[in-house]
Amino acid sequence: MPFNLSRRGFIGSAAALSAVPAMARAASDPAAAPVPINPLVKQRADAQVFRHDDGYYYLTGSVPEYDRLVLRRSKTIAGLSTAKEAVLWRHEASGPRSGYIWAPELHQIDGKYYMYFAAGPAGGGDDVFRIRTYAIVCDGPDPMSGKWSVAGELQTPWDSFNLDSTSFVHKGVRYFAWAQREPGIETNSNLYIAKLEAPLKLGEKVTRLTVPTLDWEVRGYKVAEAPAVLHRNGRLFMTYSASATDARYCLGLLTADENADLLDAKSWTKSPQPVFVSNEQTSVYGPGHNSFTVDEQGRDILVYHGRDYKEIQGDPLLNPDRHTRVQRLYYTADGTPDFGVPVGNGPMPERFVSAASPQSLLAHDGLQLLGGNPALAQTQFRQLPGRAGKQSVMLSPILIPDHYLVAKKDGSVTLERDSKSADFALRSQFVRLQDKGSDLLRFAAISAPGKALGLADGQIRLVGSRDTTAYWRAD
């Protein structure tokens, strides 16, 4: 017979769950860091986030007005959304640093804080893109409250357009990587690397790492810019951004062995396809200019900017809506980063690995739920607040953000669009349970007491809430 859910019945279902012992109550450890919500910070492009050994996360990026250098910090990644922002420096009234200010990055070198940035002169016309790299330096140990002043201009091999500088230390040597237009090469910018002998002085050997030639690197403009370096699994991975800054913007990847000569271009291999691109299903366009950090648990996090709409009026560079976004970075079986797709707006999603069958994850293929290990994006689910009290949750796949897991009367579980009915409201509600002292989770179905999401014969369905197949690990 059909189930008619009244308001009283709904509340009663939720209340029944309050009888669950405290050691198995919903949600995660209250001391855990809050889940970041995307976009993390609106209208902050070219984002750099890093976790310093002082316990803070720092964030800087380009502001829409391109007129100042800013910095904010928080004890958590999520807290960066509302953290107070300090203005460290503003462009000058005249001269080479009076126009656009681009792509800042904060680094601590020899005990001092430096912020690299690119700038050009005011005045309009092509001259505003006479972009060169500069640095400001802080006079004290606290970059938020110290006094900042111009340290000078980075001296590169050519007096030509250059920007998007980053620095990293590998095997005790500090390197510098950046984008520049090299005379005689008809591109907008190529990638270069050198040792950094002093904050504004490169070593004698400068290496051109890559020139944009592939079809996905030259859409609109011939661009390789915004390098960012990650050292993992015996290799160095250098991401870079390519093509025009609209929806065609994307990430490419260079890879080198950790023991290779980083100043030898032959040490680096370019991936033939982009590793991170716009996605219609999640509504993120032009993902790029990334950095890397780790979350509060030490897991790798990809930081990047992207718009949540495709069509842009006017010059993309003057569009303000490139927002800072974050998401987990995963790895393939051979240790290569798996970037997946930009996950879209909302809480940062998770993956759920079956405790009974660790090779199987909660996944979907279109509207069909399954237990398996398909493409990364098919295993990422967003946990959203439910409608049956503060303990209830709804689970939604990032690729179909208007669909939710729904338990059916026969114990099967499907993905369905919200019908706004009372029946849907009940059957889409679960409670996330975690036993004290355990990292295992269960998702108890409010509509079926004693039942929870489980993996049975490769299918996702309701099983006994204490069945071994009802336990998952969040990843």
216, two tokens: 């996905």
Residue 466 CB burial class (10 angstroms; 0-12, 13-18, ≥19)? exposed
For each of the domains in the chain, give its residue range(s) and CATH number, in order of start. Answer: 7-30+349-474 (2.80.10.50), 37-347 (2.115.10.20)
Which tokens go with 328? 């987990």
Least confident of 2-6, 108-112, 334-338: 2-6
Looking at residue 260, what is its pLDDT? Answer: 98
Q: Give the DSSP H or E segment for 410.
A: none
Q: How confident is the model at residue 8 (pLDDT cuts 50, 70, 90)?
A: very low
The per-residue pLDDT of the chain, averaged, comes to 93
**pLDDT tens per residue, range 175-199:** 999 999 999 999 999 999 999 999 9
User: Which residue has 């980063």 as its token pair?
Assistant: 337
Does the annotation mark 225 as catalytic? Answer: yes
**Dihedral class, residue 411 (left if φ above 0, else alpha if ψ from -120 to 50, else beta):** left
pLDDT value, residue 18: 35
- The Cα–Cα gap between 446 and 429 comes to 6
Q: What is the DSSP string of 250-280?
A: EEEEEEEETTS-TT-GGG-EE-SS-SB--BT
Instruction: Enter the DSSP assignment of 234.
Output: T
308: number of Cβ within 10 Å? 17
Residue 25 scores a pLDDT above 90? no
Q: What is the pLDDT of residue 411?
A: 96
Task: Of 29-43, 54-68, 444-458, give the lowest mean pLDDT range.
Answer: 29-43
Query: Mind listing the pLDDT tens digit for each residue in 84-104?
Result: 999 999 999 999 999 999 999
pLDDT of residue 12: 38
Of 123 and 234, the structure prediction assigns the larger pLDDT to 234
Q: Is the pLDDT of residue 331 over 70?
A: yes
pLDDT tens, 415-431?
999 999 999 999 999 99
CA distances from 228 to 286, 294, 361 (A): 17, 14, 30
In this predicted structure, the answer to whether residue 5 has a pLDDT above a threshold of 50 is no
In angstroms, the CA 325 to CA 35 distance is: 13
Q: Is the pLDDT of residue 22 over 80?
A: no
The Cα–Cα gap between 231 and 239 comes to 11
- What's the pTM value of the predicted model, to 2 decimals? 0.93
For residue 16, is pLDDT > 60? no
pLDDT value of position 201: 98
Instruction: Quote the CA–CA distance of 286 and 269 in Å, as a whole number.
Output: 24
Please write the tens of the pLDDT for every residue from 253-307: 999 999 999 999 999 999 999 999 999 999 999 999 999 999 999 999 999 999 9
Q: Which two tokens stand for residue 67?
A: 């007129």
Residue 26 is predicted with a pLDDT of: 36
Task: Determine how many CB atoms are found less than 10 A away from the CB of residue 146.
Answer: 16
Token pair, residue 419, equals 């019908």
450 is written with which tokens?
Answer: 């004693």
Closest residue by Cα to residue 101 from 132, 66, 134, 56? 66
Active-site annotation holder among 85, 164, 225, 246: 225
Q: Which residues pair with residue 343 across a beta bridge?
A: none
Q: Is the CB of residue 161 less than 8 Å from the CB of residue 178?
A: no
Residue 9 carries which DSSP code? H
Statement: residue 30 has pLDDT above 60: no
Name, in order, each residue with C-beta under 8 angstroms of 330's C-beta and a sequence gap of 6 or more: 337, 338, 340, 351, 376
Mean pLDDT on 41-49: 98
Q: Which of 46, 164, 246, 350 is catalytic?
A: 46
Q: Letter for the amino acid at 275? A: V
Residue 280 to residue 2: CA distance in whole angstroms: 37
pLDDT category of residue 2 using cuts at 50, 70 and 90:
very low
Find out whether the peptide bond into 274 is cis, omega within 30 degrees of 0.
Answer: no
- Label residue 435 by pLDDT band (50, 70, 90): confident
Closest CA to 224 of 211, 239, 236: 211
pLDDT at position 137: 98
Max Cα distance, the chain (Å): 81
The whole-number average pLDDT for the span 385-401 is 92
In the prediction, which pLDDT does 11 show?
Answer: 36
Partners of 163 in the β-ladder: 179
Give residue 389's pLDDT: 78
Q: What is the mean pLDDT of residues 138-165?
A: 97
**Quick check: is 423 catalytic?**
no
How would residue 390 be classed by pLDDT, with cut points 50, 70 and 90?
confident
Cα–Cα nearest to 83, from 117, 32, 49: 49
CA 129, distance to chain mean position in Å, is 29
Q: How many CA atoms lie within 13 A of 26 on its CB side?
A: 23
pLDDT at position 21 over 80: no
> For the chain, what's the residue count?
475
CA 378-384-387 angle, to 5 degrees, is 135
Give the pair of three-digit tokens for residue 56: 């803070």
Residue 124 has a pLDDT of 73
Residue 127: pLDDT band with limits 50, 70, 90:
confident
| pLDDT at position 19 over 50 | no
- Phi/psi at 436 (5° precision): -60, 130
Our CA dihedral for 46, 316, 39, 406, rounded to 10 degrees, sits at -130
Q: How many angstroms separate the CA atoms of 333 and 337, rounded?
A: 10
